[in-house]
Amino acid sequence: MAHENIKVNLYVWRQNGPNDPNAGIKVYSDLEINTHMSFLEMLDVLNTHIIENKDKYPEGPVAFEHDCREGICGACSLVINGRPHGPMQGTTTCQLHMRHFNNGDNIYIEPFKAKAFPMIKDLVVDRSSFDKIIQAGGYISVNTGGTPDGNAVPVPQDVSSEAMDAAACIGCGACVAACPNASAMLFTSAKVSHLGLLPQGKTEAAIRVKRMVSQMDNEGFGLCSNVGACEADCPKEISINNIARMNRAYISSTFTNDH
Amino acid sequence: MKKFQSNVPESETLEDKWTEYRSRMPLVAPNNKRNIEVIVVGTGLAGASAAATLGELGYQVKAFCFHDSPRRAHSIAAQGGINAAKNYQNDGDSVYRLFYDTVKGGDYRSREANVHRLAEVSRNIIDQCVAQGVPFAREYGGNLANRSFGGVQVSRTFYARGQTGQQLLIGAYSALSRQISLGNVVMYNRHEMLDLVVVEGKARGIIARNLLTGQLERYGAHAVVLATGGYGNVFYLSTNAMGSNVTAGWVSHKRGAYFANPCYCQIHPTCIPVSGDYQSKLTLMSESLRNDGRVWVPKHKKDVEALRAGKMKPTELSEEDRDYYLERIYPAFGNLVPRDVASRAAKYRCDDGYGVGSTGLAVYLDFAAAILRYGKSAATSQNLVNPSDEKIKELGRAVVEKKYGNLFEMYEKITGEDPYKTPMRIFPAVHYTMGGIWVDYNLETSIPGLFATGESNFSDHGANRLGASALMQGLADGYFVLPYTIGVFLSKEIRTPKISTDTPEFEEAQNNVQTKINKLLSINGTRSVESYHRELGVDIMWQYCGMARNAEGLKIGREKVRALREDFWKNVYVPHSDKDGHEFNPELEKALRVADFFELAELMMVDANDRKESCGGHFRDEYATAEGEAERNDKDYAYVSAWEYNGLDDDPILHKEKLEFKDIELKTRSYK
Ligand SMILES: Cc1cc2nc3c(=O)[nH]c(=O)nc-3n(C[C@H](O)[C@H](O)[C@H](O)COP(=O)(O)OP(=O)(O)OC[C@H]3O[C@@H](n4cnc5c(N)ncnc54)[C@H](O)[C@@H]3O)c2cc1C
Ligand code: SF4
Ligand code: FES
């Protein structure tokens, strides 16, 4: 694979804290990069350039979140040219490589925007509302110890595989950013499905779905109107069928009593 | 007062130690637990499991992580699997065999009793995770599936596709979330521990920086547990997540916790090679790939040149012109030799000029044979008569895709090459650190009341860790060991009132951190933190303290680390708008971590120099056989090196914990 250098123009959302009156897009033109870089390595290059020319760039380096850089921790975000995690299907921002861009491209980079994801700085937002949804019921209530042997309850291969498909969610929030209503249905339904499909998670299924849905509403996420943008932009290709499954579970849960 | 005794319980046999100890252990009554506070720093596998379990037991837990959520800890990235001595495959596995494999794999540099306990509780972990809803891979009949991993001859690895760490962490995170919702654990996300507070010789709290506001905050507790992960990022390029760092362990070390075996670093044989100097991290290709992939380089230099120049494709090279060197040198284990052996073999091929790829620093991992083999067997089971080569390949590809699909996809995303059609290019990279904070049998450090678990302690892996055993150790520590053993300390603390943070010790620690921050921010030099980190890791550590070390290089390396550290404190530029760091400032976070890596780096050089033998991940050029195999020296070096901090200008002080092997005979590891 040939290494190639190209130049790109970055249009980056800069915002110094939640209430910055000067928040907006800033342009960094003619950044020279290598097509083998990942998108985040390109931002590293930009930040090094900013740091090494501090007099020219009083705004300082661009804040963005990242950690694993291999598509699994869910820390990276970014809306790239209007799409959460950029143009490639089933790919997180950290796995996106610059070989998918061309010399002279203008690239718009913005944060995940949603009421339930308050702004922190530049491209960093607060996604702890997702933790709150999990705390409301995204678990099976077992304590450590005293559990039956792992093979005591056989789980059919297709059931465990379907549960795994849903469990693959990385909690990144792209589904929320993609949704015109900023709904967290895909995220929540993935957890409801993962646990509800497995025999171990069935006992609490009804109460789980009720609590998680109500927490989702409390956190300020919008309602689902079946647009489907979440599925299209989800880097783990979590299926929208999970939402249908959760809706069914939710309706039937309203016939059981909370306790 | 520092304590430095292994505290391994006395029992007739190794098998009885843990069981007997547990039944004799002092307990803390439930009504007392409610008044006892425990701080858990880190919520990866080791920390989340510990915090959840301590919460369930009734302790008041405060848990900390620097991530925005516990679910993002580096544990999430583990791909391959987790070991357990379940013997579900009926292939002769047992607790003893897992114990034996781990001690042997660790090149006889671990503590027997700890490893045996690990093997015992490994079985409970799987039960626990299944009950939590971890979607492990299953057989057709619905039972749990297993695969084999490097360095062993049984199938004992449990997995959830290529995302085992993710699924185990989500399990621990969900247990933790439940305890948070019940009010038993208070979770502090985006809080970074920057100092340990020791009061009258006992660990009683931490200073943490709230990463959103930049304010320093004081937290007190009856005991502190570190579960802060490994320090592989001292090499800058590694398979660790970008944020992984040594700070919590290092500041504890400076407060009196001994640091054990810092030179034991694991270099993983199958990572995607470096492609350019902009590179920020290296990506692991799971070891499970070596079950089906064959490692090779060309036999002849002329082919190497043609391949490097792109004049020839690896698929065009005939079988007789390839050197499947692992199969050739180690016929008994072949491609499944342990990591240190596989990594070194790759290094030797490349040193000798047989490396491929544009840099010459890569070997091939080839799936063509596996695709054919699986294709043929699928054709037979589908009763296809005379299937075409195309059909066989298609069937074989489907099998390989099912096993490793996400890894192949990841490889293609990064390199732009399709590994179903052309062999992967791989090279060793820093992956895991066996060294860490020294702990006794109770996982207690040399500071009473300070505990260390998971990768942050010096662990059960000796000088080399076998695949799929870090997840096992993290969860063993957190679910099944620490929650018991911490009681030995806490049972003596039931009369200790709530720890006040309004004391001179907390004051001093907070000032210490604030001074360091102010100093970093006031330098206003010209060089970025990143550039220092890269130079430290790539140009110094990898060069002089990497896959092979020698006395001369370690001496030069140490001098270079010092010189660069001094330069860092004069010339680094940490962008900021608040001189006290009271703001959200990722560059400052990085600077604080890199500052500690500098100090650790020097200790690693000292330790590597002291250990005049080759064992596991520590390889000294001077101590090798004529064929280049490691030469261990059990007579002089069968000890754990536990280092005591002695100021930056003076040499650290070495304490030796002698390792005794009562159950296992020390042998030269052979995988031939
Ligand atoms: C790519 C990759 C693949 C792997 N695959 C496998 C595998 O297949 N099988 C296997 O057994 N092992 C594997 N490992 C190793 C294994 O994943 C790790 O050793 C293990 O997960 C470490 O867990 P831990 O809980 O000790 O630490 P981590 O998961 O690293 O967690 C550290 C925690 O500490 C917190 N923290 C750190 N410092 C501070 C501080 N100063 N203040 C506050 N919080 C702090 C972090 O926020 C985080 O929550 C793999 C490792 C890598 C890199
Ligand atoms: S459902 Fe998809 S987009 Fe939404 S949080 Fe999970 S992985 Fe991200
Ligand atoms: S940085 Fe972890 S998913 Fe992108």
Predicted ipTM? 0.97
CATH of span A127-253: 1.10.1060.10
CB contact under 8 A, A135 and B135: no
Structure confidence at residue B671 (pLDDT): 76
**Residues B542-598: tens digit of each pLDDT:** 999 999 999 999 999 999 999 999 999 999 999 999 999 999 999 999 999 999 999
Residues of A in Cβ contact (< 8 Å) with B82: none
Domains, chain B, ordered by start = 14-267+431-490 (3.50.50.60), 269-428 (3.90.700.10), 504-658 (1.20.58.100)
The band of B338, judged by pLDDT with boundaries at 50, 70 and 90, is: confident
| B339 flagged as catalytic | yes
Give yes or no for a contact between A159 and A197, defined as CB atoms under 8 angstroms apart: yes
In Å, how far are B197, B242, B660 from B8, measured between CA atoms?
27, 36, 11
**Residues B474-487: tens digit of each pLDDT:** 999 999 999 999 99
**Which residue CA neighbors atom 52 of ligand 1 most closely?**
B78
Q: Could you name the CATH architecture of A5-120?
A: Roll (3.10)
Structure confidence at residue A1 (pLDDT): 43
State yes or no: pLDDT of A54 exceeds 50.
yes
Assess whether the C-beta atom of A69 lies below 6 angstroms from ligand 3: yes
| Domain map (residue ranges) of chain A | 5-120, 127-253
Q: In the structure encoding, which two tokens stand for residue B627, read together?
A: 């064929």
Handedness of CA B591, A62, B409, A134 (dihedral sign): positive
- The per-residue pLDDT of chain B, averaged, comes to 95
In Å, how far are A230, B75, B251, B396, B454 from B47, measured between CA atoms?
32, 10, 18, 41, 8
Q: Which of A13-27, B400-414, B465-479, B549-563 has the lowest mean pLDDT?
A: B400-414
**Percent of chain B clearing pLDDT 70 (strictly above):** 100
Give yes or no for a contact between B472 and B122, defined as CB atoms under 8 angstroms apart: yes
pTM: 0.97
Assess whether the C-beta atom of A71 lies below 6 angstroms from ligand 3: yes
State the Cα–Cα distance between residues B140 and B501, nearest whole angstrom. Answer: 57
Tally C-beta pairs within 8 A across A and B. Answer: 218
State the Cα–Cα distance between residues B540 and B596, nearest whole angstrom. Answer: 16
B-facing residues of A in 189-218 (CB < 8 A) are 194-195, 198, 200-201
**Residues B208-224: tens digit of each pLDDT:** 999 999 999 999 999 99
**Residues B171-201: tens digit of each pLDDT:** 999 999 999 999 999 999 999 999 999 999 9
Structure confidence at residue B172 (pLDDT): 98
The band of A3, judged by pLDDT with boundaries at 50, 70 and 90, is: low
A-facing residues of B in 148-207 (CB < 8 A) are 160-161, 163, 165-167, 170, 173-175, 177-178, 180-181, 187, 189
B-facing residues of A in 111-130 (CB < 8 A) are 120-121, 124, 126-128, 130
Give yes or no for a contact between B466 and B152, defined as CB atoms under 8 angstroms apart: yes
Assess whether the C-beta atom of A169 lies below 6 angstroms from ligand 2: yes
The band of B255, judged by pLDDT with boundaries at 50, 70 and 90, is: very high
**Residues A104-153: tens digit of each pLDDT:** 999 999 999 999 999 999 999 999 999 999 999 999 999 999 999 999 99
Assess whether the C-beta atom of A167 lies below 6 angstroms from ligand 3: no
Residues of B in Cβ contact (< 8 Å) with A157: 138-140, 142
Structure confidence at residue B1 (pLDDT): 53
Structure confidence at residue A257 (pLDDT): 59
**Residues A20-32: tens digit of each pLDDT:** 999 999 999 999 9
Whether A171 has its CB under 8 Å from any CB of chain B: the answer is yes
State yes or no: pLDDT of A232 exceeds 80.
yes
CB contact under 8 A, A171 and B69: yes
Q: CB neighbours (10 Å) of residue B274?
A: 16
Give yes or no for a contact between B646 and B2, defined as CB atoms under 8 angstroms apart: no
Beta bridge partners of residue B61, listed in sequence order: B38, B185
State the Cα–Cα distance between residues B589 and B207, nearest whole angstrom. Answer: 14
The pairing of beta strand A79-80 with beta strand A106-110: antiparallel
